[in-house]
Amino acid sequence: MTPEWGRAGTRRPRTAVLRRLGRWAGAGLCAALLLAALVPVWPALRLSVDGERFGHLPLAEGEQFTVSYVHSIDHLPIEENIEVRDGVLVADSTRLRQFGAGMGHIPGEGTGRADGEWWVIEDMNRTLGPQLAIRVGRASVDHRLRTPDTEVRLSPCLTARRVVVEPVRVPTLVLLFGGAPRPDCDE
């Protein structure tokens, strides 16, 4: 064994040095595991654009998010309210100004009622799956994602791009320092 210098000029065998390094590494690993256990994770929506991560929007259990846009044919606004249930996206309700092409109440899927200028279809319970893909429309379509705390305008910067929304759980630090996704363009 090749000796190594220890405290006060004494020589220590290399195996003792390696043991001490192993203990430090073990202590560091334990500290990292403890930190990981103490850092909570939160429900959120992850947004990806054309397969690249775009950002996260916090979304508490039981809260809904809204996809809003202007119908491309009749040019009237539509709002689709979606919630996460056990990691799956479920369309809960839709608000629209009038029934346009491809819009309307499907028998056996929720109940419809008038709400001022809007027609509302509630309790739809339509399973969308683990993610929602949106082909973002031009500026006149005005695609937006809204949570109770944030709104992200997609159309000004992401026209014709594929935005995927999926429920995830993320560490607190990602939500604190990642910030809400903001398209990088001039509005």
Which whole number is the average pLDDT over 6-31?
A: 60
Structure confidence at residue 20 (pLDDT):
64
CB atoms within 10 A of CB 47: 21
Reply yes or no on whether the pLDDT at 14 is more than 70: no
Residue 186 banded pLDDT, cuts 50, 70, 90: very low
Lowest mean pLDDT, pick from 8-22, 56-70, 141-155: 8-22
Identify the sign of the CA torsion 145, 84, 125, 159.
positive
Higher pLDDT, 1 or 68: 68
Structure confidence at residue 38 (pLDDT):
53
Residue pair 54/168 in contact by the 8 Å Cβ criterion = no
What is d(CA 176, CA 39) in angstroms, rounded to the nearest whole number? Answer: 12
Reply yes or no on whether the pLDDT at 157 is more than 80: yes
- Phi then psi dihedrals of residue 54, to 5 deg: -110, -30
Look at residues 118, 120, 53 and name the one whose alpha carbon lies nearest to residue 91.
120
Reply yes or no on whether the pLDDT at 99 is more than 60: no
Residue pair 142/152 in contact by the 8 Å Cβ criterion = no
Structure confidence at residue 68 (pLDDT):
97
Structure confidence at residue 107 (pLDDT):
63
Which whole number is the average pLDDT over 58-77?
A: 88
Percentage of residues of the chain with pLDDT beyond 90: 43
